[in-house]
Amino acid sequence: MAAAVPSTSRARAAAALLLLLLGCCWAALAGGPQDQAEQFFRSGHTNNWAVLVCTSRFWFNYRHVANTLSVYRSVKRLGIPDSHIVLMLADDMACNPRNPKPATVFSHKNMELNVYGDDVEVDYRSYEVTVENFLRVLTGRIPPSTPRSKRLLSDDRSNILIYMTGHGGNGFLKFQDSEEITNVELADAFEQMWQKRRYNELLFIIDTCQGASMYERFYSPNIMALASSQVGEDSLSHQPDLGIGVHLMDRYTFYVLEFLEEIHPASQTNMNDLFQVCPKSLCVSTPGHRTDLFQRDPQKVLITDFFGSVRKVEITTETLSLDRDVAGFESKFPEEELATEPLKYAEQLPVAQIIHQKPKQKDWHPPGGFILGLWALIIMVFFKTYGIKHMKHVF
Amino acid sequence: MAAPLVLVVLAAVTVRAALYRSSLAAFIAERVEVASPLNAWKRVVEGLALLDLGVSPYSGAIFHETPLIIYLFHFLIEYAELVFMITDVLTAVALYLAIQDFNKVVFKKQKLLIELDKYAPDVAELIQTPMEMHYIPLKVALFYLLNPYTVMSCVAKSTCAINNSVIAFFILATIKGSAFLSAVFLALATYQSLYPLTLFAPALLYLLQRQFIPIKLKSKSFWLYTMQYASLYLCSLVVIICLSFFLLNSWDFIPSVYGFILSVPDLTPNIGLFWYFFAEMFEHFSLFFVCVFQINVFFYTIPLAIKLKEHPVFFMFVQLAIISIFKSYPTLGDVALYMAFLPVWSHLYRFLRNIFILSCVLIFCSFLFPVLWHLWIYAGSANSNFYYAITLTFNIGQILLISDYFYAFLRREYYLTHGLHLTRQDGTEAMLVLK
């Protein structure tokens, strides 16, 4: 009996194990395309935008312009077109009279990489880079005369990359040596963007001293933020070039650029790798990041979700039938609506009438009472002066 | 006398028509000397356009004309040039008739005084004869119509012409002796621009004189007549203002017209004295100085009334001159009105002491106005001080002209009663000095 019971239980156990294994295999098999499908639908964005801001002017802030242009170069290389990039540079380093190599901006000493190529499109230049313009770009509250290249025309399916660099402090970032933007303002601007559905997900990168203070106040969903240094730390510059005479880049952005140079449009590198860029040993400051407002797991967020403009293309070899339950679809609508005539455009007011419709000008006329009163007075004066008896001579 | 007057009128109309058709019309229309914020034609057009758009013309700070002007130009705006030419002609004809009557009055009075032996024996050369007085009305009409100031004012289509014509009709009515019409026209003139209020005193004095009522403060008939005239005047003024209310159904016009005249907010340069002072004054003094400047216009009425109570028409002339010098927004049209009266006092010529210098000052200043305006505004090599200097000189010239005439008038009156050859008590020749 002891031998018979173990055999049936063993058989049962083996059958259960087999079933489990089959189930797992099936789940794994089925879960493969499902995972892929989830991956396909998970990021949820259909277009990419980038707002790249360099806030400092003067020749010795060369590195901030080089920072911004490096990110611009990467973003453009990975597929975001100029029409979707708002590039704000507060000063012109390439054509600065102090630039010994005019029309170039180098990011590495020994002039290995010129980030100012032939096709750099600067949208906001020089004194146009102000806090007001930056906030107007973000929130979309722009005068109607602004050209398209200066607008952030994002919608609720846009992933936006916002990169800012310059001089900052605890809670603020300096613009143009004369004004500053605070972290509260920035957080409110992002909230406005969220309420107006101007972004799907937002990646905010800042490379300034005490940069982490700038993302402390964010409270809108779907924002991920990276900064080059914590509160109380300074972000340091990388190397000076003795030929040009200034520091060419900041450390954090230098290593980010190195990291991004290895990314190509199809790479699957995720955000967690970006968080590891520039450890304290290389950067001297401690880079920080904030992901609590972000709904997806950073592990699942691709770098190209923000830095590139990757179109989701699914190649399939099987034919899909598109005729679904048409009858069921139509029955949702009540019969009466189908009975009305479909509206045709031509039945509206002719365009000429719409365009030239002005309020009809009513000519002003003096009120009748006034005219009556005036002429009555005039006639009274006349007759008082000349007497009624003259009437027959007048008429 | 009708034929020469018609000739003069024709000549004047031709000159104006020729200027209207020339390119100078636009240039003259924007000169600040003839177009002030109160009477510029541009502002009338703007106000009427605002009215057509359904907005009250008084809602901004552009339009400062009275509602009766709105009514007048609402129907006549296409014939504006004709209206202004006709206005000028009417003014000239009114002045002509007024001075004709005035001459008769003067002559009658003179005859009376001669018969009463009020004149000294040796003043035969001072007495006015009908021969020399015959052409004075024509000269007055001529002076008004062909005065370059009047022509420029007409070409600029400044509504100062309408002000002038109302005052001219008032003078005509007063000299004809009709108290009612005089009160009505004076009310109209005051309604148009506040300052003819001061002409109440000379008109009253003239009418009292005409009614042979002696001007004694204790006399009952004096007060009775004064009350009658004052009540006629005030009633017509109230009636006109209430009537204006019904044009736009609002009292907006009162702060826009009278508030504007009295508080002088617009400091565009003109030929007057207000703009420069108030442009450089500190805010907390401006109320005080506005009051001082406005009182200055009304201040001379009572002393002049006391001095010139026997000669109300001369008083009216001096008062008109004072209004056009000291008002808040004077223009050359106002100057032209009192200058039209100068031929009436042409018999004072021998007593005028500075007439050559003064006429030179006035003529040169008239030429320097556009020159220094150009240097200040367009060339940028002068500044407002230069223009204000010319304004000051022009006004000083006018003031000295008036005081010269005033002195000459008083001197003649003195000589008439005391004889031409004045001697002191010891028989040597005496000099008459104005103290």
Q: Does a structural domain hold residue A119? A: yes
Which residue range(s) make up the domain with A191? Answer: 47-307
Q: What is the pLDDT of residue B418?
A: 83
For residue A309, count other CB atoms closer than 10 A to its CB. 22
Q: What is the pLDDT of residue B416?
A: 87
**Residue A182 CB partners (closer than 8 Å, separation 6+):** A171, A172
B54, A364: Cβ pair inside 8 Å? yes
Q: Given CB atoms, is A379 within the 8 Å cutoff of chain B? A: no
The residues of B whose Cβ lies within 8 A of any Cβ of A are: 51-54, 68, 70-71, 74, 178, 180-181, 184, 239, 243, 246-247, 249
Q: Does a structural domain hold residue A144? A: yes
A377, B243: Cβ pair inside 8 Å? yes
A364, B74: Cβ pair inside 8 Å? yes
Chain B residues with CB-CB distance to A383 below 8 A: none
As a whole-number percent, the residues of chain A with pLDDT over 90 amount to 32
Q: pTM of the full predicted structure?
A: 0.59
Of A362, A363, A373, Cβ closest to residue B243:
A373
Chain A residues with CB-CB distance to B184 below 8 A: 381
Q: Does a structural domain hold residue A267? A: yes
Q: Residue B364: which pLDDT band, with cuts at 50, 70 and 90?
A: very high
| Residue where the block lists tokens 């056009």 | B324
The mean pLDDT of A219-247, rounded to a whole number, is: 88
User: Is the alpha carbon torsion for B144, B146, B152, B156 positive or negative?
Assistant: positive
> Which of A197, A198, A215, A196 is closest to A206 using CA atoms?
A215
Residue B236: closest CA among chain A residues belongs to which residue? A377
Q: Given CB atoms, is A373 within the 8 Å cutoff of chain B? A: yes
The mean pLDDT of B360-385, rounded to a whole number, is: 92
B239, A377: Cβ pair inside 8 Å? yes
Residue B70 or A332, more confident:
B70
Task: Compute the distance between CA of residue A135 and CA of residue A150 in angstroms, rounded to an integer.
Answer: 12
> Which of B243, B250, B253 is the best residue to mutate to test the A interface, defined by the most A CB atoms within 10 Å of its own CB?
B243
Whether A375 has a pLDDT exceeding 70, the answer reads yes
A384, B180: Cβ pair inside 8 Å? yes
| Catalytic residue (choose from A209, A238, A278, A283) | A209
pLDDT tens, A185-222? 999 999 999 999 999 999 999 999 888 899 999 999 99
> Which of B192, B175, B173 is closest to B232 using CA atoms?
B173
Q: Are strands A179-182 and A201-207 parallel, antiparallel or unpaired?
A: unpaired
Chain A nearest CA to B310, separation (Å): 27
Chain B residues with CB-CB distance to A360 below 8 A: none
A364, B51: Cβ pair inside 8 Å? yes
Q: Residue B319: which pLDDT band, with cuts at 50, 70 and 90?
A: very high
- Of these ranges, A105-109, A218-222, A333-337, the one predicted with the greatest mean pLDDT is A218-222
Residue B69 or A394, more confident:
B69
Hey, is A116 helix, strand or coil? Answer: coil
B243, A385: Cβ pair inside 8 Å? no
**Residue A134's CATH number:** 3.40.50.1460
Determine contact, residues B340/B144, Cβ cutoff 8 Å.
Answer: yes
Task: Compute the distance between CA of residue B341 and CA of residue B52 in angstroms, rounded to an integer.
Answer: 41
Q: Give the bridge partners for A225, in sequence order.
A: A204, A290
Residue B232: closest CA among chain A residues belongs to which residue? A381
B70, A373: Cβ pair inside 8 Å? no
> Which of A253, A210, A309 is closest to A64 using CA atoms?
A253
Of A366, A377, A381, Cβ closest to residue B247:
A366
Q: How many domains does chain A have?
A: 1
| Residue where the block lists tokens 């000294």 | B120
The mean pLDDT of B25-51, rounded to a whole number, is: 90
pLDDT tens, B271-314? 999 999 999 888 889 999 999 999 999 999 999 999 998 899 99
Whether B355 has a pLDDT exceeding 70, the answer reads yes
Q: Residue B214: which pLDDT band, with cuts at 50, 70 and 90?
A: confident
The mean pLDDT of A238-243, rounded to a whole number, is: 82
Task: Compute the distance between CA of residue A252 and CA of residue A208 in angstroms, rounded to an integer.
Answer: 9
What is the layout of strands, in order, in the sheet containing A223-227? A124-125, A85-89, A47-54, A158-165, A201-207, A223-227, A288-290
pLDDT tens, B384-430? 999 999 999 999 999 999 999 999 999 998 888 887 777 776 666 77
Q: What is the pLDDT of residue A4?
A: 47
Active site residue A209: yes
Q: Does a structural domain hold residue A367? A: no
Q: Does a structural domain hold residue B426? A: no
Please count the residue pairs, one from chain A and one from chain B, whose beta carbons lie less than 8 angstroms apart.
36
Chain A nearest CA to B84, separation (Å): 21
Cα B191 to Cα A367, B198, B256, distances in angstroms: 20, 13, 13
A173 membership: H or E segment, kind and range? strand A172-175
Determine contact, residues B306/B181, Cβ cutoff 8 Å.
Answer: no
Residue A385: closest CA among chain B residues belongs to which residue? B181
Q: What is the pLDDT of residue B271?
A: 92
B180, A381: Cβ pair inside 8 Å? yes
Active site residue A278: no
Task: Compute the distance between CA of residue B15 and CA of residue A215 in angstroms, rounded to an integer.
Answer: 80
Q: Which tokens hold the place of A343?
A: 């509206």
Q: What is the pLDDT of residue A1?
A: 43
Q: Which tokens hold the place of B268?
A: 């565009």
Q: Does a structural domain hold residue B431? A: no
Q: Does a structural domain hold residue B173? A: yes
Task: Compute the distance between CA of residue A113 and CA of residue A384 in angstroms, rounded to an integer.
Answer: 102
Residue B184 or A349, more confident:
B184
Of B51, B54, B247, Cβ closest to residue A370:
B247
Q: Give the bridge partners for B176, in sequence order.
A: none
Chain B nearest CA to A363, separation (Å): 5
Is B192 exposed, middle or buried (CB count within 10 Å of its CB: 0-12, 13-18, 19+)?
Answer: buried
Q: Does a structural domain hold residue B434? A: no
Q: Does a structural domain hold residue A202? A: yes
Q: What values do phi and psi take at A177, rounded to 5?
A: 70, 5
For residue A18, count other CB atoms closer than 10 A to its CB. 10
Q: Does a structural domain hold residue A5? A: no
Q: What is the pLDDT of residue A394?
A: 54
Is A373 exposed, middle or buried (CB count within 10 Å of its CB: 0-12, 13-18, 19+)?
Answer: middle
Of A362, A369, A371, Cβ closest to residue B54:
A362
The mean pLDDT of A280-290, rounded to a whole number, is: 87
Q: Which tokens hold the place of A287?
A: 């880079």
Comparing A360-374, B49-63, B106-120, the range with the smallest average pLDDT is A360-374
Chain B residues with CB-CB distance to A366 below 8 A: 70-71, 74, 247
B71, A366: Cβ pair inside 8 Å? yes
Q: Does a structural domain hold residue B430? A: no
pLDDT tens, A126-174? 889 999 999 999 999 999 999 999 999 999 889 999 999 999 999 999 9
Three-point CA angle B334, B335, B339, nearest 5°: 120
Determine contact, residues B184/B176, Cβ cutoff 8 Å.
Answer: no
Q: Does a structural domain hold residue A325? A: no
Whether A2 has a pLDDT exceeding 80, the answer reads no
Of B52, B184, B239, Cβ closest to residue A363:
B52
Which residue range(s) make up the domain with B90? Answer: 1-418
Q: What is the pLDDT of residue A3?
A: 47
Q: What values do phi and psi take at A102, rounded to 5?
A: -65, 155
Whether A95 has a pLDDT exceeding 70, the answer reads yes
Chain B nearest CA to A391, separation (Å): 18
Task: Compute the distance between CA of residue B343 and CA of residue B133 in angstroms, rounded to an integer.
Answer: 10
Cα A364 to Cα A350, B53, B54, B159, distances in angstroms: 30, 8, 7, 21
Instruction: Give me chain B's average pLDDT, please.
Output: 90
Q: Given CB atoms, is A358 within the 8 Å cutoff of chain B? A: no
Task: Compute the distance between CA of residue A325 and CA of residue B310 in angstroms, rounded to an integer.
Answer: 113
Q: Does a structural domain hold residue B163? A: yes
As a whole-number percent, the residues of chain B with pLDDT over 70 amount to 98
Q: Does a structural domain hold residue A140? A: yes
Length of chain B equals 435
The mean pLDDT of A247-269, rounded to a whole number, is: 88
Q: Does a structural domain hold residue B15? A: yes
Q: Given CB atoms, is A319 within the 8 Å cutoff of chain B? A: no
Cα A53 to Cα A88, A264, B25, B420, distances in angstroms: 5, 23, 58, 97
Q: What is the pLDDT of residue B43?
A: 93
Determine contact, residues A95/A214, Cβ cutoff 8 Å.
Answer: no
pLDDT tens, B126-170? 888 888 888 899 999 999 999 999 999 999 999 999 999 999 999
Q: What is the pLDDT of residue A337?
A: 52
Task: Compute the distance between CA of residue A222 and CA of residue A344 in angstroms, rounded to an integer.
Answer: 42
Q: What is the pLDDT of residue A266?
A: 83
Residue A360: closest CA among chain B residues belongs to which residue? B53
pLDDT tens, A56-87? 988 999 999 999 999 998 899 898 999 999 99
Q: Residue A34: which pLDDT band, with cuts at 50, 70 and 90?
A: low
Q: How many domains does chain B have?
A: 1
Chain B residues with CB-CB distance to A364 below 8 A: 51-52, 54, 74
B70, A366: Cβ pair inside 8 Å? yes
Comparing A327-331, B29-33, B99-103, the range with the smallest average pLDDT is A327-331
A361, B178: Cβ pair inside 8 Å? no
Q: Residue A244: which pLDDT band, with cuts at 50, 70 and 90?
A: confident
Residue B210 or A1, more confident:
B210
ipTM > 0.85 (yes/no): no
